Amino acid sequence: MTRGRPLGVDQFQRGPSRLPKPSGSVSLEDLVRNFDEQAPSPAPDSPAKLPTQGESFDILSMELIDEPKVRPRWHYSTTDVERMALDFLRVGDGNPLNGQITPITVFAKPDGRYEVIDGLTRLKAMRSIQVTDTIKAVIKPAMSAADAYRMGFDANEARTSMSDYDRGMSFHAALEQGVFASQDEIAQSLGVNKSLISMVLKFSKLDVSLLEIIESNKTLFGSTAVDRIHALQERAGLDKAKFAATKITEGWSQQKLREYATKQLEHSSGKGRKRASSNSRPIAGVGKIKFNDKAFSVALDLTNLPADGIARMAEEVERVLLNHLSQMRDTD
């Protein structure tokens, strides 16, 4: 099946040649046995770059490297990580460290550890191979969480534009973790339109069952799609929203989603439905009775009710109500 466009528009050196002994239960032979049968995949790395002023290059123990406080690219598929691991082994002729062309970028922490700025897929891939415990890295001086996030965000967007799902979930986490204090701060730091931030943040407001549908098909769900799916969830119910999300993964166009959402939201708000008829009748000069085809109510002012008024009032209520019920029977 051919998938359609996303529903929404988006605005160094080689390491040592010695191969370390396997450190995990997965052998090198198991990982490379079928290399020749694998279809070539895009090169995982861009051309190597030399460190700039204030940076240094080193081969670090992966045990000393922490993942980012908040991942700019929110979802990393197992398939992408496995493909990059195979590329490292293929390019390095069995030595993944030689196959890693571009170092990851980290910054030094006061406790002697390092935190990833850019290159989390490379780190995950290298860890999954389990035949080396080191990785090439460009090391930057200590920096704030906001600066690290901005650098990682810019690097990811420049390499492969992220999905609105990644952006929305990551922005939400950045706000929750205190990396940024507000949407305005995100917009100013990243140069992203605030209205887009507001729309993609709706991903974080979706039920977990919807996120499960979206995550493995994230490129199909843009800011416009999530806006409509969120509206369906809130105003038409979770089942309607899940139906629409599933249909998007099966090929629904943006127009089809718009038509479905419009119909369901109009139905849930009562637009287009016939309003219940309502009538009002005076009662003995002291009040009125209001009724429609579902209910009735009586409002009376008994302040100046004459002595014989109670009987006349009761008769009038009975007469008006019986007459209304008779009319309802005749129209059924």
Q: Where are the domains of the chain?
A: 12-162, 278-331
pLDDT score at 309: 66
Asked which of 58-62, 151-155, 300-304 is least confident by mean pLDDT, the reply is 300-304
The pLDDT of residue 244 is 98
Those residues with Cβ within 8 angstroms of residue 174's Cβ, 6 or more apart along the chain or in another chain: 70, 149, 180, 186
pLDDT, residue 16, reads: 37
Q: What is the pLDDT of residues 94-153, one digit of tens each?
A: 999 999 999 999 999 999 999 999 999 999 999 999 889 999 999 999 999 999 999 999
Query: Which residues fall within 8 angstroms of residue 170, CB to CB, at 6 or more apart?
Result: 70, 71, 72, 73, 74, 153
pLDDT in tens, 232-286: 999 999 999 999 999 999 999 999 999 999 999 998 876 544 444 556 666 666 6
Average pLDDT over residues 299-319: 69
Class for the domain spanning 12-162: alpha beta
pTM over 0.75: no
Q: Is the pLDDT of residue 49 over 60?
A: no
Q: Which carries the bigger pLDDT value, residue 293 or residue 139?
A: 139
Mean local confidence (pLDDT), 166-178: 97
Please tell me the total number of residues recorded for the chain in this structure: 332
DSSP per-residue codes, 172-218: HHHHHTTSSSSHHHHHHHHT--HHHHHHHGGGGGS-HHHHHHHHTTG
**Contact status, residue 15 vs residue 97, Cβ threshold 8 Å:** yes
Q: Describe the crossing of helices 223-235 and 254-269 by its angle, rounded to 10 degrees.
A: 20
CA 274 to chain centre: 37
Query: What pLDDT is stored for residue 5 in this prediction?
Result: 38
pLDDT of residue 54: 77
Across the range 177-198, mean pLDDT stands at 96
For the cut 90, the answer to whether the pLDDT of residue 199 exceeds it is yes
